[in-house]
């Protein structure tokens, strides 16, 4: 029987031979994405030169890890609207930074604060999509890399701090597809100051003629609303609440 590498890692950690928390794990290296494989890290999701987020054709989650301790993540999903369930919203989030694996097997990802971005569209609450900075450190309780028994490809399960296992992700690229790992510090950072109301990020409203990167799509709330309906049509599995805002 072939032991998945995550078991090997756990065994190593259990023997206490890993003293440092500055560990990287080569089995994590690559770009991982949920099954639809349309939301990916890298320039297809975020364009730092024009400071644009580019709408993927399907919702999903993607993480990339390098062998020298850097990560990047892209999230795109529908969010429910409790006040009007027929009118969901959508959210895109992007961050990058550095990661460490703790001696307890946890995975901590610390973003470069000025670089993260969030685009939130709640057409029935707000006529504009809201584009803000986004900066959230993520601590995963653990992770597991193994060959998926059905698809026969490498799979990554991340366990959140509350013990919940995230949607599985599958290896898409190795080496990973990522934007440069150093601070990009794109234009949104320039000349803006956080208000006391929103310390974590600086908001800007995206006008309805906002262009969406290479797709040159008009980012208008009707478009987002239409996408929201598409998600719920695809199936309840893709329908999440907001991760954090
Ligand atoms: C995922 O999408 C990428 C980019 O289109 C493609 O290169 C890759 O082969 C796809 N992987 C899977 C598992 O479908
Ligand atoms: C980013 O988040 C960290 C942790 O919450 C916080 O200490 C830091 O001040 C934030 N930075 C910015 C620029 O918002």
Radius of gyration of the chain (CA): 18
Instruction: List pLDDT tens digits, range 223-235.
Output: 443 333 333 333 3
Q: What pLDDT digit, counting tens, does each position of 144-157 carry? A: 999 999 999 999 99
> 200 CA to middle of ligand 2, Å?
6
With beta carbons less than 8 A apart as the criterion, state whether 212 and 119 touch.
no
Check if 112 has its Cβ closer than 6 Å to any atom of ligand 2.
no
For the cut 70, the answer to whether the pLDDT of residue 216 exceeds it is no
Q: Which of 8-17, 124-133, 175-184, 202-211 has the highest average model confidence (pLDDT)?
A: 175-184
Bridge-based pairing state of the strands 217-218 and 211-212:
antiparallel
**pLDDT over threshold 90, residue 24:** no
Lining residues, ligand 1, CB within 6 Å: 37, 170, 172
pLDDT at 22: 54
Residue 7 has pLDDT above 50, yes or no: no
Q: Which H or E run includes 130?
A: strand 129-133
Between 177 and 22, where is the model more confident? Answer: 177
Q: Is the pLDDT of residue 5 over 50?
A: no
Residue 72's φ and ψ, nearest 5 degrees, are -150, 145
Longest dimension (CA), the chain: 58
Ligand nearest to the CA of 135: 2
- Where exactly are the structural domains of the chain? 21-238
Mean pLDDT of 86-95: 89
Residue 60, pLDDT > 70, answer yes
| Pocket flag, ligand 2, residue 141 (CB < 6 Å) | no
Q: How far is CA 234 from the centre of its chain?
A: 20
State yes or no: pLDDT of 45 exceeds 50: yes
Distance 169 CA to ligand 1 centre (A): 12
What SS3 class is residue 227? helix
Give the separation between CA 52 and CA 46, rounded to whole angstroms.
6
Quick one: pLDDT at residue 83?
85
Considering only CA atoms, which of 133, 136, 132, 134 is closest in space to residue 160? 136
> What pLDDT is recorded for position 1?
35
Asked whether 90 and 228 are in contact (CB, 8 A), the reply is: yes
pLDDT level of residue 80 (50, 70, 90 thresholds): confident
Q: Name 71's Cβ contacts closer than 8 Å, sequence gap at least 6.
A: 63, 64, 65, 96, 97, 98, 99, 109
Residues 92-107: b if buried by 16+ CB within 10 A, e if exposed: bbbbbbbbebbeebbb
Q: With bands split at pLDDT 50, 70 and 90, how would you rate the model's confidence at 191?
A: very low
Say if residue 168's pLDDT is above 60: yes
Ligand 1 atom closest to the CA of 37, numbered from 1: 1
């Amino acid at each position: 029987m072939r032991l998945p590498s995550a078991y090997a890692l756990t065994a190593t950690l259990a023997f206490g031979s890993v003293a440092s928390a500055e560990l990287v794990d080569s089995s994590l290296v690559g770009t991982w994405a949920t099954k639809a494989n349309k939301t990916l890290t890298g320039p297809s999701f975020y364009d730092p030169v024009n400071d644009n987020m580019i709408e993927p054709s399907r919702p999903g989650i993607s993480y990339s890890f390098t062998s020298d301790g850097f990560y990047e993540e892209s999230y795109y999903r529908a969010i429910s609207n409790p006040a009007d369930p027929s009118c969901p919203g959508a959210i895109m989030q992007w961050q990058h930074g550095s990661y460490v694996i703790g001696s307890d097997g946890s995975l901590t990802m610390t973003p470069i604060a000025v670089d993260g971005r969030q685009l939130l569209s709640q057409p029935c609450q707000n006529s504009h999509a809201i584009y803000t900075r986004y900066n959230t450190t993520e601590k995963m309780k653990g992770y597991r890399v193994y060959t998926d028994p059905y698809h026969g490809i490498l799979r990554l399960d991340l366990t959140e701090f509350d013990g919940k296992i995230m949607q599985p992700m599958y290896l898409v690229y190795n080496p990973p597809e990522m934007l440069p790992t150093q601070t990009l510090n794109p234009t949104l950072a320039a000349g803006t100051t956080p208000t006391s109301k929103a310390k974590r990020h600086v908001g800007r409203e995206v006008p309805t003629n906002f262009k969406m990167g290479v797709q040159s799509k008009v980012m208008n709330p009707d478009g987002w609303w239409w996408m929201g309906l598409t998600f719920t049509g695809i199936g309840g599995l893709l329908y999440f609440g907001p991760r954090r805002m």
